[in-house]
Amino acid sequence: MTFPIKNVALFAIMAGLLFYTGITESWNTALGLFNMCLISAIMALGVNLQWGYAGLFNVGVMGFVALGGLAAVLVSHAPVTEAWSEGGLGVIVALLTGAATILLATLIMRRKPHSRTRTLALLAVLVGGFFLFRALFDPSVLAIEKVNPAATGFLGGLGLPILMSWPVGGLLAAAAAWLIGKTALGLRSDYLAIATLGIAEIVIAVLKNEDWLTRGVKNIAGLERPVPYEVDLQNSPAFVERANNFGLDAIEASTLFVKANYSLLFAAVLIILLVMFQLALNSPWGRMLRAIRDNEVAAEAMGKDVTARHLQVFILGSAICGLAGAMMTTLDGQLIPGTYQPLRFTFLVWVMVIVGGSGNNIGAILGGFLIWYLWIQVEPLGHWLMGVVTSGMAEGSALKEHLLESAAHMRLLTMGLVLLLVLRFSPRGLIPEK
């Protein structure tokens, strides 16, 4: 791997921007930004694997990220024993019934020849299975949601360390990706886009409505942390003393220390992923992927199984997004289904990949950093700009108030503009593919 001057300079500028924020605002803000930049970079890596290396158009990033968040809850939250005894078994039996119904229907589809009897049997199995599922499912869910609804009202999780949720988040996302990939890959690229758009909306709908699983819009807060708590640090004399040696007061030092711990964890994941990706993509497997992307027909003629490779890459890339989602929920310490917005979680990641340079992992990481930084910093910039624009207007005029109020929406405009400009004038991104 070589490091051309230009790339080093671009990353230096990025570091400079973060340092500038640290100096002018606060180091706390800068580290917080840095952490989210790392997570964004991981998401961008996942999308870049799909788009940059295989030409797959996934606009369901939000769904996979949210599945990662769900994994964080399911793994780390303490189990609600009362809810489990009330309806845990019922829900599991119901879900198994549902799965069995679908399995049976698929078997009938596959095994029996096409006939009217088959269609009728299929319908009978699906409709009967659905009502059986609802009959088993609904009472258990009611029972679970009745258990102390103000505090829990859901099954809780497994009570395991939250770090274990990261791979689990990847697995959940991979399973969803398999489902989508099986149906939509091999068709036109647009169809995959629509299908992923759909699955993302459905995942969010499930998170918002299945209270027994995620508490729905009541949110889950106070997830366990992989790093120490600020309060504990502030109460530890050894830490306070060390902080004083650095000339920091205990409170600031503790918040910085916690954020820095997160940064280390995230950076480790990012570096491991990057190394793995670079190795894989420079291997024969990676060359095959690029060959398929550049000319599917030729690759197929050479005996490459295009659909299988696409499915593989699609699942891998989505798993990375799930992993990033679990990491993000870990950082937030809470799952708020209402905050998952497609513009923020799907399309912004796309902007990162395109701006950074599709087909280049280093570029994707740079894009993740830069675009996340802009996304956060454009808002104050917008307020400032509007302040300048409106400074000449009469105090209290309706237009002035409207403009000042709308400054927050500047970021969507800016992101769209950045995306279009890069696509037009530098379609290969800031750090193009070699």
Partner 1 sequence: MIDFLNAIVALSNFVIVPAIAYGSQLALGALGVTLIYGILRFSNFAHGDTMASGAMFTIFVTWWMQSAGINLGPLPTALLALPFGILGCMALVLFTDRFVYRFYRAQKAKPVILVIVSMGVMFIMNGLVRFSIGPGEQRFSDGERFIINAREFKEFTGLREGLAIKTSQGITVITAVIVVALLFWFLNRTRTGKSMRAYSDNEDLALLSGINPERVVMYTWLLVAALATTAGVLYGLDKSFKPFTYFQLLLPIFASAIVGGLGSPIGAIAGGFVIAFSEITITYAWKKVLVYMMPEQLEPSGLVQLLSTDYKFAVSFVILLIVLLFKPTGLFSGKAV
Residues at the contact surface with partner 1, assessed by CB under 8 A: 55, 57, 59, 130, 138, 183-184, 187-191, 193-195, 197-199, 201-202, 205, 208-209, 342-343, 347, 350-351, 354, 405-406, 409-417, 419-420, 423-424, 427
- Closer of 207 and 253 to partner 1 (Cβ): 207
Longest dimension (CA), the chain: 82
Using the 8-state DSSP alphabet, how is residue 220 labeled? B
List the structure tokens of 363.
């570029």
- Closer of 319 and 378 to partner 1 (Cβ): 378
Using the 8-state DSSP alphabet, how is residue 226 labeled? S
The residue whose two tokens read 């180091």 is 27
Closest approach, Cβ 58 to partner 1, in A, equals: 12
Closest approach, Cβ 413 to partner 1, in A, equals: 3
Closest approach, Cβ 327 to partner 1, in A, equals: 25
- Closer of 172 and 253 to partner 1 (Cβ): 172
How far apart are the C-alpha atoms of 381 and 407, rounded to whole Å?
9
How far apart are the C-alpha atoms of 270 and 45, rounded to whole Å?
9
Using the 8-state DSSP alphabet, how is residue 113 labeled? P
Report which secondary-structure segment, H or E, holds 281.
helix 250-282
Closest approach, Cβ 195 to partner 1, in A, equals: 7
Smallest CA-to-CA distance from 93 within 153, 146, 136 is with: 136
- Closer of 59 and 66 to partner 1 (Cβ): 59
- Closer of 187 and 268 to partner 1 (Cβ): 187
Cβ atoms within 10 A of the Cβ of 406, count?
11
Contact 35, 331 (CB under 8 A): yes
Closest approach, Cβ 304 to partner 1, in A, equals: 20
Q: 3-state class of 187 per DSSP?
A: strand
Q: 3-state class of 153 per DSSP?
A: coil
- Closer of 236 and 339 to partner 1 (Cβ): 339
Smallest CA-to-CA distance from 72 within 169, 159, 153 is with: 169
Rg (CA), the chain: 25
How far apart are the C-alpha atoms of 356 and 284, rounded to whole Å?
25
Closest approach, Cβ 13 to partner 1, in A, equals: 23
The residue whose two tokens read 């299975």 is 129
- Closer of 117 and 406 to partner 1 (Cβ): 406
Q: Which residues contact 269 (CB under 8 A, 6 or more apart)?
A: 42, 166, 323, 327
How far apart are the C-alpha atoms of 342 and 88, rounded to whole Å?
32
List the structure tokens of 207.
């998170």
Closest approach, Cβ 35 to partner 1, in A, equals: 25
Distance in Å from the first CA to the final CA of the chain? 11
Closest approach, Cβ 394 to partner 1, in A, equals: 21
- Closer of 25 and 401 to partner 1 (Cβ): 401
Closest approach, Cβ 133 to partner 1, in A, equals: 11
- Closer of 182 and 287 to partner 1 (Cβ): 182
Closest approach, Cβ 17 to partner 1, in A, equals: 22
- Closer of 172 and 354 to partner 1 (Cβ): 354
Cβ atoms within 10 A of the Cβ of 300, count?
13
Q: What share of the chain is helix, strand, coil (3-state, %, to 5)?
A: 80, 0, 20
Backbone angles phi, psi at 55, to 5 degrees: 70, 25
- Closer of 193 and 280 to partner 1 (Cβ): 193
Amino acid at 213: L
Closest approach, Cβ 210 to partner 1, in A, equals: 10
